[in-house]
Structure 1
């Protein structure tokens, strides 16, 4: 069977920038666009996870946001784009790959991309999945006090950068019994070595303009929606996921027991089975 194999990274010219994209599976299958969270390249959607989804009959797309991995980067602290631009990047990738409608899976802060797609571009979306995300509404629990980070590392010292990012990943796992430090360290080492500018990766997504959809809010999303949230999430505790489910008509919530603000390998079977059920149909 070849449907689970990766098709290799490619740099695509989209919206005046270069975006690095990799696909898994058969192009004739329903397409799943994986949108990583802030400061995360495509590598944070593990290739083994992408293959596990693809063997279930899905065409899986992962990519590097601007300022991550091999995609276009900007000077640290000077991102020249907004949430809307990043949303249009998703649609540009769909266009480049000949995908009319995609099942879009958005993680963490970039659930905002899913919101804009779902409200302003419903014709391009077969379904939405929000992983470790939030409505951002007032009154939700704040992040754990355990997430206080140390000062930024010396970016000229790759070893120090890796240690900094691994420490952050450990904190964001929220004490999960599934946190695999060796696997995370190997991922981060690849991520740092592969990036055009890792200093830009770590800082540039946070000051971008948080423009939202033009046509409404979460209550206006009509696409079938799945909310996925770990019960150990220290950044956006579980009530954030519950509030997101409640804000979107007909949304369902999958609670990943033992997971933090991440998708550890131990919960992949539960996540993939739910995602496959959620994305039945929706041919490109």
Structure 2
């Protein structure tokens, strides 16, 4: 489905019964909504939620901001604008408020949404994220894969996804080669736009620190982080939890910067416990 929200087109998909507790899933840097596994979403639906996932601006089938004169990145927006996109999509859905779950950059957007529109956020779940670009900074190897030149074709995109998983994925869990390969191919076929990812990265770097804003939140919050995350190190998670009054910090040994399948039930259960409070 597509919606006009905050002046752009947003592609989204809804799961679950209309009466379920509303949950908004926000994905990370360069990642399309299909990066939220349907099996994980199914666990949330089974626990009584109605779930929406969507493509952020500049990825997937939502609006891309490629300049008319070429594909060079242009720092034309901030994470605050992406948070406003989310709030506008909620308007389209008829949701005055929702339980907001964000992963990586999606966690940053979720934080910004909670700060900018606190009445719209019933609960906040921030996964493998950080309150600011200087907190929980990446290891040298992780940053190298993040900033490597873009692949040139479908096979290259799949190879890059597998290499990224090897470097920043979860060392305590077996890499799901089949899932990563299928997801990377599907993402390439839907929309391949490395310049859009670069613009999102610029938005992260330009958006500053949210710590002070997070200190004023009153919504129940959950922070999930991998103890072996090399892209946003554990400091990012602990700093987020420390900033939000009453936030619960849930860490997993062996988890890196991804969502390992064996942890989906525990994560879904923790989110359901939180949404039951909000």
What residue number does 2:23 align with?
32
Aligned to 2:83: 87
Alignment of 1:111-260 (within 5 A): 111-136=107-132, 142-147=137-142, 148-149=144-145, 151-155=148-152, 157-195=153-191, 197-208=192-203, 210-211=206-207, 216-260=212-256
Gap change, CA 1:244 and 1:69, over 3 Å in 2: same
How many residues in Structure 1 have an aligned counterpart in Structure 2?
Answer: 270
Match of 2:6 in 1: 15
**Shift of the alpha carbon at 1:184?**
0.7
RMSD: 2.2
Q: 1:154 to 1:45 in 2, by over 3 A?
A: closer
C-alpha displacement of 1:153: 3.6
Between structures 1 and 2, the one with greater helix share: 2
Please say which of residues 84-93 and 174-183 is displaced more in the overlay: 174-183
TM-score by length of 1: 0.88
Match of 1:276 in 2: 272
Per mean C-alpha deviation after superposition, the further-off stretch among 244-253 and 212-221 is 212-221
| 2:45 corresponds to | 54
> Which residue is equivalent to 1:66?
57
- 2:257, 2:218 → 1: CA distance? 26
Q: What SS class does the counterpart of residue 179 from structure 1 fall into?
A: coil
- Given the two structures, how large is their TM-score scaled by the length of structure 2? 0.89
2:98 is aligned with 1:102: yes
Any conservation in 2 of the 1:120–1:213 contact (CA below 8 Å)? no
Deviation at 1:186, TM superposition (A): 0.8
